Structure 1
């Protein structure tokens, strides 16, 4: 797949673009989203969407991160308009995982010039700093998660969880939203967000509860390699991988149905 780096963003351009997706990953896996979320992003590219995945380094100032990634995205988008003849009237969607959801919510609230046809929010969480530390420890087994946390002083996130909710309630401008919650995800706070967004844009919020866990969007989709002798361990590993990627495929299809809805426009609302 031909990833391009443009102003620090990782970009995929399909031959006939039908839309643009601005992707922001979760805390501590966002430094290389074209690697950590490769399968999901390349799938969406194959469906005709320009992918602009903006890396970021996590700090406690989430408002500053939101402003920085938006600036970087806008620079990359301008390059695509000017140098690669990308049409200027294509719909633009935000897509975030975990902390990336909070950043898209801040972008959609704090910057009035931002226009989005919708946001896709996977495994939203809005923890306070003291609650996020166990989360960082839990995620420490995933590559690339440890390298930044030791340098960050412990304080509260800016904005705090309470202030984030107030900002969204008063200022969030994106009407159409898809929220995905995974069944085995105790880090997820999508339910409270869904209630908040329904008050802002009644009838415009699609919620889906899918099989999987907080790390499901990170599936890489690499082919299972068998050695010369196919053992029982190989068989178990193959079955495990097949089941894991069934969960990711369900995420992919849910996103595509939401992006290209057939009547009725909204997916069925689950009973959470």
Structure 2
């Protein structure tokens, strides 16, 4: 896998996030009108989480984009709250970092008008710890770190419910669950909500923490080896996809990029690169 060359550090003042521009990147571009063709090449500025999304996009840029008449500018974001705002504002042409429950929550809360293409990959959520290696080792009153955004908070509680660590009240959708919706908690676990990106760095402060797949990768964690429990992927609603503005959903360049992200080449890249099970094709 070709490594990503990080050369330019952009501080997004007023947004409180840092974006790192890859070798394929340049200045922000595209604008609110969507990407346009120039000299036979359609340049698309895509916001993405550094791992694995930006790595998958880099593979497309290096191996597939030129023949399809595309050029990618890849702008990684480390904060889940920024890419949809950047897309809505026209700073980028598309983003690739989120799943359907997260997008639906953001649209409801912030009024975004965005369009999601089909799922590309799934990153199983996992429970990690610096001190225990088995779920049975959790002690009465232990503290667990979970994400504080609504989608990943519910998803984290759902992971614990899958393994019968807790149960969630009947009638509550897992994607909407909060700690107030816990019906049974046999070990009287306590839950501390943190920004999802902070949890891998904070594992030493808790008995365990629920970590998103991309943040596990960035922290050097190996899900198949180090996760105490790992999210089950049967019928998962958490596939990640390319997202664009609603007005741009029929843009030829964006549709072509989505097609490339669903090619057999990309599927093989995912399977051969993330052999620890941290990233699984969704098509």
Q: Same fold (TM over 0.5)?
A: no
Q: TM-score range by the shorter chain?
A: 0.3 to 0.5
TM-score, with structure 1 as normaliser: 0.35
Structure richer in helix, relative to its length? 1
Structure richer in strand, relative to its length? 2
